[in-house]
Structure 1
Amino acid sequence: MKKNNFKPSPFALAAFLLTNSVAHAQTAPAAAAVEAKPASAGEAQTVTISASADASKEGLSSAYAGGQVARGGRLGLLGNVNVMDTPFNTTNYTQALIQDQQSHSVADVLQNDPSVRVARGFGNFQELYVIRGFAVNSDDLAYNGLYGLLPRQFVSSELLERVEVFRGANTFINGAAPGGGGIGGAINLLPKRATNEPLTQVTLGGESGGQIYTAADLGRRFGPDNNTGIRINAAHRDGDTSVDNEKRKLDVLSVGMDFKARDFRLSADIGYQNHRLTAPRPSVTVDTSIALPAAPEGSSNFAQPWSYSNERDTFGTLRGEFDISKDVVAWAAFGARSGEEANTLAAPTVSKTDGTASTYRFDNARKDTVRTGEVGIRGKLQTGAVAHSLSATLSGYWQDSRNAYALSDFFNPLATSIYKPVNSAEPVANFFTGGTLSNPLTTHKSILSSYALADTMSFVNDTVLLTVGARNQTIKDYSYDYNTGAENSKYNESAVTPVVGLVFKPMKNVSLYANYIEALQQGAVASGTDIVNQGQTFSPYKSKQKEIGVKYDAGTLMMSAALFTTSQPSAYVQNKVFGIFGEQRNRGLELSVYGVPTRGLRLLGGLTLLDAEQLHTAGGANDGKDAIGVPDTQLNLGAEWDVPGVRGLTLTGRTVYTSSQYADGANKQKLPSWTRLDLGARYTTTIADRAVTFRARIDNVADKNYWASAGGYPGAGYLVLGAPRTFVVSGSVDF
């Protein structure tokens, strides 16, 4: 489609749905734990559950056999959809998995996913997720479908009921991601809600280095028919980590509320997170003229003792849903976040293979204000032999970022080594500055708006499901001078991203699917020296994906396979013209499995094979070579075994394998492959009439030293050292 050719109004669809709705609204489903009811007419699977993550009529999709993964998840304006009914590849990790694995953050949960590898942001400690070989920043995590609301660098697992992973391009699903992700996948996080039964749970724990952990989880329902619920979670971590001289302190508090009436539902969330790192081990940049040095010991720390990174966020959401009729529901959701970051960094650059390195001080201050929201309507109707599930939505996103920085003299760097670190006196950061650290000015504003329409059509008794739709996305972006606040540049462009998805069910437990879908990123503004089109603004980049796959539900074991190819444009200068001449193409095969193959045994994992190729590069220098930081093979396999004869005892294990990858576009610096083995156990019993669960885990059992990832930020190949052998233990008591 050409830009802006698609101009249907979502209000027209809304009016059509309303005029075709004559039935009275149904009563909201009672909160009771039961199995999912089969979907029909291409609609989302409807379930009644003991906890709901939002104001959704469908509720939270029930867990699949084994309890580690859910049967379905949220697909933006399409609502909650069973995995067998969606033309995409998704996995939805449950709170049971999060708690049993003692996960600290989203990154810990995604250690189970063969399509994802965890990296780090450029120059900081931001969690970054590489899905299908493309980076998804933690800026681009969605919270119940809304972007930008959660803490920007680290999201504590105590906030989460589900971690939903969508694989592939996804601008149509929730709109363009504010951080420029959305090419290889998307991650949606769901908040906790009060269950039917009262919940009062306290957890105490610790880990290698002396890190202490305490948490409380309380939930209650009250009112007529338990129509009102509240869920409160609080957590505190403090102490040294398994890395030498590194300290972490974390405080988390969240309150989730919900209310259910006959024909409408409301939910709200308020959250606070304060995350502080002292002497955190930084990423490593290696001079491109040398071979990559061997990985240092996993417990070593080459951070300067005066370095730190602090992040504090307060956020909230409000969501409502109203049953206009039996078959039509409308919703609205709004959210806001206020975040502050401050850090002093000193990342080393290695110049010799013996580990010789240099560093300088870099200070940064940032304040973010985010407001976001969406409204939508979804309904069913019949046209002859074809059933339709129609959806329309409007969304908006606004962000104001205030930034300032200061550097020490980088012409006289501090000498150090990644093998024998040298602690230097703290230099003064006043050599080169931008803005005032104590009072940063607005340096960046983003305004995203979109509307989308979709129709999922059902044919031949729901054996064929065809989804078609499109989203019209507008991206406005403004940058301002750090010192004066004057506008430097502005960007205002629109584009349409379509989607076509087909599901065919030749048998009840088999789904064949195919899709075409696009991702959207802000286009470049021509810049540089000696170019003839300085300042030219380009339309948003479209990354195009094609995928086919198969899913098989054996009743207690789910298996799937997917083949995909995604192309991403890129910009560079050619013959003094800045343009969109470059392209990267990622192709791959994904195999996944989860469930209970036999009684007492649970499996979770899979294999991803990737071919990430640079097709067109400046001067053809790197044509045909691998993209930075994308391994050819990723294998994750986890298992849980309930020990026969010892009631309540479960042994766990997980293997993570990542093949070699390159740290530079010329493919001269190659990271070795690595394999990590994690082992654990948990024991559930009753003490003094209280349910008690003890958990223990050892990550990196063999204490291997390895470079875990390369890059994440486009064109950069900085290295992140893998964590050493780490022991984690905890105990939970239900009162």
Structure 2
Amino acid sequence: MRTRSRAACIATAAALSQGPAWSQSAAPVDPTPTLRTVTVNASADASAQGLSPEYPGGQVARGGRAGILGTRDPLASPFSITSYTNQLIQDRQARGVGEVLQNDPGVRVARGFGNFQESYFIRGFILNSDDVAYNGLFSLLPRQYIATELFERVEVLRGASAFLTGANPGGGGLGGAVNLLPKRAPADPLTRVTVGAASGGQGQVAADIARRFGPDGATGIRVNAAYRDGGTAVDEERARLGVVAVGLDWRSRDVRLSGDIGHQDHRLRRTRPNVSIAPGVASVPAPPDASSNFAQPWSYSNERDVFGTLRGEWDLTPAITAWAAYGLRRSEEANSLANLTVDNLGGTGAARTSRFDNAREDDVDTGELGLRGKFRTGSVGHEWVVAASAFSLDSRNAFAFDLFPLRTSLYAPTAHPQPPLGATTFFGGTLGSPLRTTRTRLQSFALGDTLSMMDDRLLLTLGVRHQRLDLGSYDYTTGTQLSRYEAQRNSPAAGIVWKASPELSVYANYVEGLTQGESAPASAAGVPVVNAGESLPPYVSKQKEVGVKVQRGTLGGSLALFSTTRPRAYVNAASVFTAGGEDRHDGLEFNVFGEAVRGVKLLGGATWLSAKQRDTGSAATDGRRVIGVPRFQASVGAEWEVRAVEGLALDARVVHTGASYADAANTLRVPGWTRLDLGARYLMEVGGRLVSLRARIDNVGDRNHWASSGGFPGAGYLVVGAPRTFSLSASVDF
């Protein structure tokens, strides 16, 4: 904010309280020898690097975490990373990770298969929300929806990342990774209360309280709590969320520790489900009215999570630092769903649905150990890292699928009584006491080095990670092991940066991604598969990328050209399930951020994608586009500080997604869409307190559209976009 007025000064202080902050200077020097003064930086990850400072405009940070390499300045990194700040989260009134990622031109939000889990297309590849990292560790946060009260930053690492982060436990992440940074106490006391309301009668109250204690404020605590309840802009849909998180940190001269513990309870009632298209339907139906609801009145989804992390660093010498991290999650889910399948268009949208109940319990434990250091060999500098990681997931599942179809319609839905679970129901285990059905064990060891030459203008990063995958599946009813998948793989990475000037760098990288291979199905097209149940070797995706990054004054941007391949599998003419062919995603990304001129902020960009299936073994799909991936997508946002009205800022965002396909043969075309979002923010002083008023309208034109197609490999289900949605909030800093 400008320093032209008292209110603007208060706004500046509020913004700074959310980013890096330092304690007051120590007392005047006494001639008596004392320990070195500890400077407290509100670090989100207990690292000496601390939280990256904000770029002018405050919407993104100057750096982000590149996995085991730590936080890197963008101009010195051979990878594409954007770190969205808490200031952006608040100003756009984003309530979940997906709403933050709407600002990223390379990401599109989809939904899980048969549930309400968020999924994200990054460079056209799927990343599920339960594979999001928290403070560098995978799968610790709530599996289906993550509230923004839990984090300070949203970091998007674009591209394959097996060396940097390890293989993703859920088998995704080939197009990129998302890491969330927890909140830490700033140097100055913080007490903020927020109340809000949104379309459908949704109410919200939240509190954010932080303090630092002890000599030089070396100990910090931050508590966030929020409660939301009520309807939504969709008819008869209701959502309730309760969340609380506590973040602690402590620093001495050589040691830094942090810890987090949180609880989230998320309950959905009559949430609008996915829409599938039955075989034989020749075209995609027109989207229904954006406010309409075809969910059955008895459908629901409940999720409850407890999670925590511990992280520490110890400076063994001035040049060598050791770190360790541990995290856990304990989750319970229960739902009764009724997804829709359109089976007879004829202009009527005739459809069928059925009851599907599910119960799930997850136990996640994960950890990481590492050493990082620096040394020189002549004129060449080295920043080396050695790290080891382990991940464990035990998942217990049970389901009940009622085979009796209920007739309804996409446009004129019919409400049915909840069918009983009985003679027409197929059970998988016991809902009240699910057995273990999935076991995932991942271990890895990584070694990397960044060499700096020519006065640190040329940087070369080399690394390799040895990964071991051990996966087991178990029978729903008996708990006996059905299969075990064990594989090992070395995943290399190489990147180079040429810093042409302090404001411009050119980079290139080669990185591999790693996921478990698919299992052979029992049959294909009604014919038994010879090697049914056999698991293929790990899938190795290969990425090549070149790009340029610019940070000139208050405006920054990047341009990247990339190509990523992902192996495919199919059943050949001999009825053998085999690896063959690939999905190839070639793309061009453009990003811009910062202040274009005084008082005008820009954030967004565009992505061009050519995502095609190659050598599929079928003439119907060979050369066709990948399900759910458009050729072009863009998110462009601008914010204007109205100088004529002190404390007022207006913002607008245009989100465009081009046409895609809902089937591998590209016969079901899903139209593209464009939506406009508008917002306003007003800062004022009331009784010496900073008051922030925010108003927002998403989807101003109330456009009816299919927001996404797909979100699970090989499935082209559709999700109706949200209608016009109003939201208001008021925050007071005490």
Q: Which runs of 5+ in 1 are unaligned?
A: 1-28, 35-46
Match of 1:667, as an amino acid? N
What CA deviation, in whole Å up to 9, does each residue of 1:100-128 have, x standing for no partner? Answer: 11111000000000000000000000000
Q: Are residue 561 (structure 1) and residue 540 (structure 2) matched?
A: no
CA distances 1:173-199 after superposition (whole Å, capped 9, x unpaired): 111111111200000000000000000
Task: Compute the displacement of 1:382 (Å).
Answer: 0.2
Report what 2:470 is aligned to. Answer: 476
1:645 deviates by 1.8
Whether 1:358 aligns to 2:352 is yes
Measured in 2, the distance between the counterparts of 1:620 and 1:597 equals: 49
For the residues of structure 2 that align with 1:439 and 1:581, how far apart are their CA atoms?
40
> What value does the CA root-mean-square deviation take over the aligned residues?
1.4
Mapped contact 2:562–2:587 kept (Cα < 8 A): yes
The answer on 1:250 being equivalent to 2:241 is yes
What's the counterpart of residue 181 of structure 1?
172
1:341 corresponds, among 327, 333, 343, to: 333
1:510-529 equivalences in 2 (<5 Å) = 510-529=504-523
Which residue number corresponds to residue 386 of structure 1? 380
Distance in 2 separating the partners of 1:306 and 1:48 = 56
**Matching of residues 239-388 of structure 1 within 5 Å:** 239-290=230-281, 291-353=283-345, 354-388=348-382
Deviates more, 1:518-527 or 1:267-276: 518-527
SS in 1 for 2:722: coil
Secondary structure at the residue paired with 2:75?
Answer: helix
For each residue in 1:378-434, what CA deviation from the matched residue of structure 2 results, as whole angstroms up to 9, or x when unmatched? 0000001100000010000001000000011x2x31011110110001101341001
Q: Secondary structure at the match of 1:387?
A: strand
Equivalent pairs, count: 693
Deviation, 1:535, is 4.4
Conservation of the 8 A alpha-carbon contact between 1:195 and 1:220:
yes
Matched, 1:106 2:97: yes
Match of 1:722 in 2: 721
Task: Point out where structure 2 has 5 or more consecutive residues left out of the alignment.
Answer: 1-19, 26-37
Q: What displacement does 1:555 show?
A: 1.7
**Match of residue 451 from structure 1:** 445
Name the residue aligned to 2:8.
none
Aligned equivalent of 1:509, options 499, 503, 508: 503
How far is the alpha carbon of 1:620 from its aligned partner? Answer: 3.1
Q: Deviations over 1:289-311 (max 9, x none)?
A: 22111010110000000000000
Aligned residue identity for 1:84: L
Cα separation, partners in 2 of 1:568 and 1:647, compared to 1, 3 Å:
same
Residue of structure 2 equivalent to 1:646: 645
Question: In the TM superposition, what whole-angstrom CA distance separates every residue of 1:245-297 from its partner, at most 9, and x where no partner exists?
Answer: 00000000000000000110100000000000000000100124221110101
Matched residue, 2:35: none
Q: Quote the Cα distance in structure 2 between the aligned partners of 1:687 and 1:532.
A: 74
**Residue matched to 2:411:** 419
Amino acid corresponding to residue 496 of structure 1 in structure 2: N
Q: 2:548 aligns with which of 524, 547, 550?
A: 550
Q: Supply the distance in 2 between the matched residues of 1:246 and 1:163 (Cα, whole angstroms).
A: 28
Q: What is the letter of the counterpart of residue 517 of structure 1?
A: V
The letter of the residue matching 1:695 is R
| Native 8 Å contact 1:495 1:539 kept in 2 | no
Q: Distance in 2 between matches of 1:146 and 1:598?
A: 38
Q: What's 1:209 paired with?
A: 200
Give the distance between the partners of 1:256 and 1:679, measured in 2 at CA: 33
The offset of 1:50, in angstroms, is 4.6
Q: Which amino acid aligns with 1:644?
A: R
**Are residues 48 and 495 of structure 1, via their aligned partners in 2, closer, same or farther at CA, if it must alter by over 3 Å?**
farther
Once residues 589 and 614 of structure 1 are traced to their aligned partners in structure 2, the CA distance between those partners, rounded to angstroms, is 18
Preserved CA contact (<8 Å) 2:40 2:251: no
Is 1:472–1:495's contact at 8 Å kept on the other side of the alignment?
A: yes
Q: Which amino acid aligns with 2:413?
A: P
Q: Distance in 1 between matches of 2:321 and 2:21?
A: 17
Per the TM alignment, residue 534 of structure 1 is displaced from its structure 2 partner at its CA by 4.0
Give the Cα–Cα distance (whole angstroms) in 2 for the partners of residues 466 and 197 of structure 1: 40
Aligned partner of residue 592 in structure 2, secondary structure:
strand
Mapped contact 1:33–1:49 kept (Cα < 8 A): no
Which deviates the most, 169-178 or 359-368?
Answer: 169-178
Q: In the TM superposition, what whole-angstrom CA distance separates every residue of 1:547-583 from its partner, at most 9, and x where no partner exists?
A: 0000011121011100000000011111222111131
Q: Which among 429, 432, 437 is matched to residue 435 of structure 1?
A: 429
Q: Does residue 165 of structure 2 align to residue 149 of structure 1?
A: no
Helix, strand or coil at the partner of 1:378: strand
Judge which range, 106-115 or 567-576, deviates more. Answer: 567-576
Decide whether the 8 Å contact of 2:21 with 2:186 is kept in 1.
Answer: no
How many percent of aligned residue pairs carry the same amino acid?
A: 56
Residue 327 (structure 1) shift: 1.1
Does the 8 Å CA contact 1:288/1:664 hold for their aligned counterparts? no
Distance in structure 1 (CA, Å) of the matches to 2:23 and 2:634? 37
Amino acid at match of 1:615: R
CA distance in 1, matches of 2:610, 2:705: 22
- The 2-side partners of 1:527 and 1:308 are apart by 31
Aligned residue for 1:581, secondary structure, equals strand
Write the letter of the residue equivalent to 2:143. Answer: R
Distance across 2 between alignment mates of 1:355 and 1:576: 36
Task: Tell me which of 112, 115, 132 is aligned to 1:121.
Answer: 112
Q: Following TM superposition, by how much is the alpha carbon of 1:32 offset from its aligned partner in structure 2, in angstroms?
A: 5.0
Change (3 A) 1:385 1:644: same
Q: Distance in 1 between matches of 2:531 and 2:57?
A: 58
After superposition, the Cα gap between the structure-2 partners of 1:681 and 1:30, relative to the gap in structure 1 and judged at 3 Å, is closer
Q: Is the 1:250–1:276 contact (alpha carbons within 8 Å) kept by the matching residues of 2?
A: yes
Deviation of residue 506 (structure 1)? 1.5
The answer to whether the Cα contact below 8 Å between 2:654 and 2:675 also exists between their aligned partners in 1 is yes
- Separation in structure 2 between the aligned mates of residue 626 and residue 443 of structure 1, nearest angstrom: 34
Moved more, 676-685 or 345-354: 345-354
Deviation at 1:533, TM superposition (A): 3.4
- Matched-pair contact (CA < 8 Å) for 1:49–1:59: no
In 2: Cα distance, 1:607 partner to 1:524 partner: 33
Alpha-carbon contact 1:465-1:502 (below 8 Å) kept: yes
User: Quick one: distance in 1 between partners of 2:373 and 2:96?
Assistant: 36
Partner AA of 1:704 in structure 2: R
* Distance across 2 between alignment mates of 1:571 and 1:701: 43
Which residue identity is paired with 2:121? V
Amino acid at match of 2:142: P
1:609·1:632 contact (CA, 8 Å) conserved in 2?
yes
Match 2:531 to one of 530, 533, 553: 533
Distance in structure 2 (CA, Å) of the matches to 1:554 and 1:287: 52
> What is the SS of the residue equivalent to 1:404?
strand
Task: Deviation per CA, 1:573-616: give whole Å up to 9, x if none.
Answer: 11222111131100000000000010000000001000000112
> Structure 1: which amino acid aligns with 2:141?
L
Partner residue, 1:222: 213
Q: Structure 1: how far apart are the matches of 2:494 and 2:253?
A: 35
Equivalent of 2:124, from 129, 133, 141? 133
Q: Which residue of structure 1 lines up, in the alignment, with residue 684 of structure 2?
A: 685
Moved >6 Å (runs of 4+): none
Query: Which residue is equivalent to 1:572?
Result: 570
Whichever residue aligns with residue 627 of structure 1, its letter is V
